[in-house]
Amino acid sequence: MTRFRSTDALALVLLAVGFAAIVAAPTDALQGLLQRLMYAHVPAAWLAYLAFAVTLVASIGWLRTRRARWDHLAVGAVEVGVFFTGLALVLGSVWGKPVWGVWWTWDARLVTTALLFLVYLGYLALRRATEDPRARANRAAVLGIIAFVQVPIVHFSVVWWRTLHQPATVLRPGHPTMDHTMLAVLVVNVAAYTAVFITLLRRRIALARREEELERGRWSPTAPVAGDAVEAPLVEGEHRV
């Protein structure tokens, strides 16, 4: 059973503080209460970027050292990153429906984010489809490196193409264009989501270690084989030795 750690408590406290900050944040003059979705949508997108950057580093680490801990880190980061990417897409659709009038539109930021989501789902599918642990880690590492090229494309899509999605207001040249109070609330929630990310990632790495132990036993030459316990029927008068 996984123990409850201090970092888990910290994540819960930060989430509670972040929620309180969202409630206390000033209401946007144009979008009203709907704008408060930003405090969950933006951190989810940023944490997806972070997760896939961790995957990039871990994939390089595996290819250089062939140490299992790098592979565990890579798969853990992808699974958490896929979760945050999906969350960003869902929250973006909920936000976009009243603002744009549709749940989905073929906007550059939306399309590139959806492709990012699908490619990393493909990463997880590749791991499922490859039985040999070493081959699986090698193939996944290569894909984890190549797939990261999508992250800057997603981020700069609002600059490179004409889109409905608003341009960057924080990660941009010069000073952020956001109200300072709103920016402070956003930073608090980014910290909260980061704590959740670390908690989920740590637990997924622990699970990956257990999965490796099971696979090591399954691939061992002395591992039991299906049918070992089946015995041929005895011929009449024959005795089993």
Tell the burial category of 3 from Cβ atoms under 10 Å away from its Cβ (0-12, 13-18, 19+). exposed
The pLDDT of residue 185 is above 70: yes
Q: Is residue 142 situated within a structural domain?
A: yes
The pLDDT of residue 64 is above 80: yes
Separation of alpha carbons 39 and 42, rounded Å: 6
For 77, the domain range is 6-218
Q: Is residue 233 situated within a structural domain?
A: no
The pLDDT of residue 235 is above 80: no
Separation of alpha carbons 154 and 170, rounded Å: 15
Q: Is residue 239 situated within a structural domain?
A: no
Q: Is residue 1 situated within a structural domain?
A: no
37 Ramachandran zone, left/alpha/beta (phi>0; psi -120 to 50): alpha
The pLDDT value recorded for residue 182 is 87
Share of the chain above pLDDT 90, in %: 55
In the chain, the amino acid numbered 32 is G
Q: Is residue 241 situated within a structural domain?
A: no
Query: How does pLDDT run across 20-62, given as a tens digit for each residue?
Result: 998 888 888 788 888 889 999 999 999 999 999 999 999 999 9
What is the pLDDT confidence band of residue 76, given thresholds at 50, 70 and 90? Answer: very high
Q: Is residue 235 situated within a structural domain?
A: no
The pLDDT value recorded for residue 9 is 86
Q: Is residue 79 situated within a structural domain?
A: yes
Where are the strands (E) in the chain, listed by range? none
Model confidence pTM above 0.95: no
Is 101 or 71 the better-scoring residue by pLDDT?
A: 71
Alpha-carbon Rg for the chain in angstroms = 24
3 state SS of 241:
coil
- Of the candidates 29, 47, 109, the one whose C-alpha atom is nearest the C-alpha of residue 84 is 47
The total domain count for the chain is 1
Phi, psi (degrees; rounded to nearest 5) at 163:
-135, 160
The pLDDT value recorded for residue 224 is 58
